[in-house]
Structure 1
Amino acid sequence: MTTHDHPGAPAGAAHGTPSELGFSMPAEFAPHDACWMLWPQRPDTWRYGAKPAQQAFIEVATAIAESETVFVGVNDDQYENARIQLPEQVRVVELSSNDAWMRDVGPTFLTHPDGRLAMVDWEFNAWGGLDGGLYFPWDKDRRIRTKIAEMLGVERFAVPVMLEGGAIHVDGEGTLITTEECLLNANRNPDLTRAQMEQVLRDTLGVEKVIWLPRGCHLDETDGHVDNLCCFVAPGEVALTWCDDPDDSQHAISREALAVLEAAVDARGRRLKVHKLPQPGPLHIAEDEASGIDRLRHSHPRRPGDRMAGSYVNFYIGNAVVVMPLLDPQRDGQAREILQALFPTRRVVGVAAREILLGGGNIHCITQQQPRCR
């Protein structure tokens, strides 16, 4: 394993930036070798010892494992429980974590035209550190990328910039979408300007064009991750969370994003085609769902009546399946039909995902694809 350290704007680093070395981040809809997940158990995030959440994670892992290897990282005290419950084809590995959001604490994988795999090791502060972060400490989460690099024996580019995987989406052809609310948040990288952050993304991920959406979904506790609002489904095509109710705060956010997307061109000069996915709900935490959670001083509170940032955009694109969250019986069917039309060569699998949403994210948030290499 080779490690490269890069400054905040990594141009001119001793070994060259990932982009200069020929690496880039593939799209999620490109072929995968594997998917990485973590096992939920944190009692201040997941109710009732995370037993309901574990069942949802099992369903997600099982669906993805139909067409690609799935690794589930588990703390030692839950290893035997996870190994017994997860299907045999899912690989369970001891990989200590503070919580189960592999999209954000796991590596951003890069590929090279010569067939090499590498990864980016961003900084991580639990979505804001002590200024709005969701829990403390995050020391185990911070080591996950290094451990996976060791396990796979691949190059690791250490980039001292605070960035979570859910904050970015790429089309694999030079275009990246993100939100200003997250990447320019003072609790992430207060010393980086928008232009400097764009340069970091170009140097690290091999992209040429960055499309900035103003905000993420309403009340998204990650400070507006793009993967809950908008994602690439093909080159030149995105799916966008949509709300038709003008009295709903999501209404203005979705229209604001649509205006930016319709005015944008991607790195290849194409206008974007926008597919609207209806917003589920609105969804709120029920009285019984707020019980059974440990109340800790440094943890994000989960109270009865709180609105959750539910979104059908938070799905995972596997090799042969698209695993989507089932969140609202009145809209699940419509969302599934839209996704099936967008991915005609893949089977759309719905997983009851409210238990994942109760923890603050969804299917895309708990997964991280490892792209296929030649």
Structure 2
Amino acid sequence: MSFTLLPEWAEQDAVMLTWPHADTDWQPILDSVEPVYINLCQHISQVQSVVIVVHSETLKSHVVALLTDAEVDLSKVRFITTPCNDTWARDHGPITVQSESGQLCLKDFTFTGWGNKFPAELDNAINERLAAEILADNCTYQKVDIVLEGGGIEINEHKTLLTTSECLLNPNRNPNMSKTDLEQALSDQLGAQSFLWVDHGFLAGDDTDSHIDTLVRFAPNNTLVYVTCNNPNDEHYEALQAMETQLKSFRTAEGSPYDLIPLPWPTAKYDSDGDRLPATYANYLIINKTVLVPIYDDENDQAALAQIAKAHPERTVIGINCLPIIHQFGSLHCITMQLPKGFLR
């Protein structure tokens, strides 16, 4: 039976969040970070369920109290209590594929903290707990001995997989696999039939080695939504100009160029140490009927929301202030993972 990764705009049962806690690097700024998570739960629970991974029963009680105060419908929330290192659900969460008959399989790829940069053994065990506790009985679970993070790949309805060479070909991921090996493995595991490799573009402050979800996103109907930088004095200018040139050269299976929707570049954001933070509008989340977009109290926020609305005209586009999240060097898409229709028991 062949399985294919579903595009993010496929119908969903839920979104998974792994809640930040005091034993993580979030500890000094939990008071500003938890409201972002609450806001996400408020919006997601309007259209589907929320699966929340919590580090302990004590944290679960705390989160229940927060969500109750925020008037989130707790009947739409499912909890998984299991120890976790951090909160980047996009990268330690399940990558779910579907067969032509509609059966789902939870693919549990290996998460190594973006090439062994950070401890990840607890996060790498979360998907097995998910499968045991909430995966629907007719869905299957498969451990895959390949290092892969959900933020490193995008797929569209034509089974074209989009990724960056900087991430997937990095020797800190799968050093014994060539580009050809990886394409074969991703064809076998995710049903990809063609590949687009982005060779340029990065975000200062990013730990992921240029995940595609910080730079370029698929939208329906052969559309690419991507970040741009028009300031020649910005350190990203040359790389993002080169990326845009490459995107213009990409062709669909039919030989047509992609419809390109550029996103503005937020003004540079820095932490208290003067380190640049990876603010990007491309790190948005598509859910049922809605797109949740990270915004940054920035003069370019509204323009970004308008551009993303062009890519998803059938959905309501909502901005979520993610300034606190980028202080740990990720954004909205990085802390979420969608679970497709039929996933939940």
Taking structure 1 as the reference length, what is the TM-score of the superposition?
A: 0.85
Moved more, 227-236 or 41-50: 41-50
Residue deviations 1:175-210 (CA, integer Å, cap 9, x gap): 011001111111111111111111111111001111
- Superposition misfits of 4+ residues, deviation over 4 angstroms: none
* Contact 1:42-1:49 at 8 Å conserved across structures: no
Structure 2 CA distance for aligned equivalents of residues 197 and 73 of structure 1: 30
Partner of 1:83 in structure 2? 64
Preserved contact between residue 173 and residue 268 of structure 1 (Cα < 8 Å): no
Report the CA distance between 1:45 and its aligned residue: 2.3
Alignment of 1:8-47 (within 5 A): 21-47=1-27
Match of residue 328 from structure 2: 359
Work out whether residues 322 and 349 of structure 1, in 8 Å CA contact, stay in contact via their aligned partners in 2.
Answer: yes
1:145-188 C-alpha deviation (Å, 9 max, x unpaired): 11112221431222211111000001032101100111111111
* Residue of structure 1 equivalent to 2:225: 239
The CA distance in 2 between the partners of 1:66 and 1:253, in whole Å, is 39
Contact 2:55 2:82 (8 Å CA) reproduced = yes
2:89 touches 2:334 (CA, 8 Å); kept in 1?
yes
Task: State the 1:230 CA deviation.
Answer: 0.5
1:71 Cα shift? 0.8
Partner of 1:292: none
> Does residue 53 of structure 2 align to residue 73 of structure 1?
yes
| Cα distance in 2, alignment partners of residues 261 and 42 from structure 1 | 41
Aligned pairs for 1:106-121 within 5 A: 106-121=93-108
Please state whether the residue corresponding to 1:28 is helix, strand or coil: coil
**What does 1:22-171 align with in structure 2 at a 5 Å threshold?**
22-48=2-28, 50-76=30-56, 77-86=58-67, 87=72, 88=74, 89-129=76-116, 133=117, 135-136=118-119, 138-151=120-133, 152=135, 153=137, 154-171=139-156
Partners of 2:217 and 2:225 within 8 A in 1: yes
2:258 maps to 272
**Offset of 1:49 from its aligned partner?**
5.6
Which segments of 5 or more consecutive residues in structure 2 lack a partner in the other structure? none
CA distance in 2, matches of 1:60, 1:197: 34
Q: Cα–Cα, structure 1 residues 269 and 64, in superposed 2: closer, same or farther, change >3 Å?
A: farther
Deviations 1:230-261 (A, max 9, x none): 11121310110111011212222222222222
Q: Classify the secondary structure of the residue corresponding to 1:329.
A: coil
Is the Cα contact below 8 Å between 1:22 and 1:112 reproduced in 2? yes
Aligned counterparts of 1:90 and 1:332: Cα–Cα separation in 2: 30
SS in 2 for 1:127: helix
Q: How far apart, CA to CA, are the structure 2 residues paired with 1:107 and 1:270?
A: 33
Q: Does 1:207 align with 2:187?
A: no
2:97 counterpart letter in structure 1: L
Aligned to 1:257: 243
What CA distance in whole angstroms lies between the structure 1 residues aligned with 2:264 and 2:279? 11
2:275 corresponds to: 306
DSSP-derived class of the 1:142 partner: helix
In 1, the alpha carbon distance for the partners of 2:341 and 2:94 equals 15
Counterpart CA distance in 2 for 1:95 and 1:259 is 45
Distance 1:167 1:42, change over 3 A: farther
The residue matched to 2:209 in structure 1 has which SS? coil
Shift of 1:47: 4.4
**Which position in structure 1 is the counterpart of 2:337?**
368
Change (3 A) 1:189 1:272: same
Q: Is the 8 A contact 1:42 1:98 kept in 2?
A: no
* Residue of structure 2 in register with 1:8 after alignment: none
How many residues of Structure 1 are paired with residues of Structure 2 in the alignment?
332
Contact 2:228–2:244 (CA under 8 A) maintained in structure 1: no
RMSD: 1.6
Deviation of residue 115 (structure 1)?
A: 2.0
How far off its partner does 1:118 sit? 0.7
Equivalent pair of 1:43/1:50 in contact (CA under 8 Å): no
Identity %: 30
Cα offsets for 1:263-306 (capped at 9, x unmatched): 11234544211110011111111x2xxxxxxxxxxxxxxxx110
Contact 1:104 1:165 in 2 (8 A): yes
Deviation, 1:320, is 1.2
Q: For residues 48-88 of structure 1, give each alpha carbon's deviation from its aligned partner in whole angstroms, at most 9, with x where no partner exists.
A: 26221111111112112211111111111311101111222
Offset at residue 332 of structure 1 (A): 0.6
State the Cα distance separating 1:33 from its structure 2 match: 1.4
Q: Does the residue aligned with 2:304 lie in a helix, a strand or coil? A: helix
On the 8 A contact 2:225/2:311 being kept in 1, the answer is no
Contact between 1:218 and 1:253, CA under 8 Å: does it hold in 2?
no
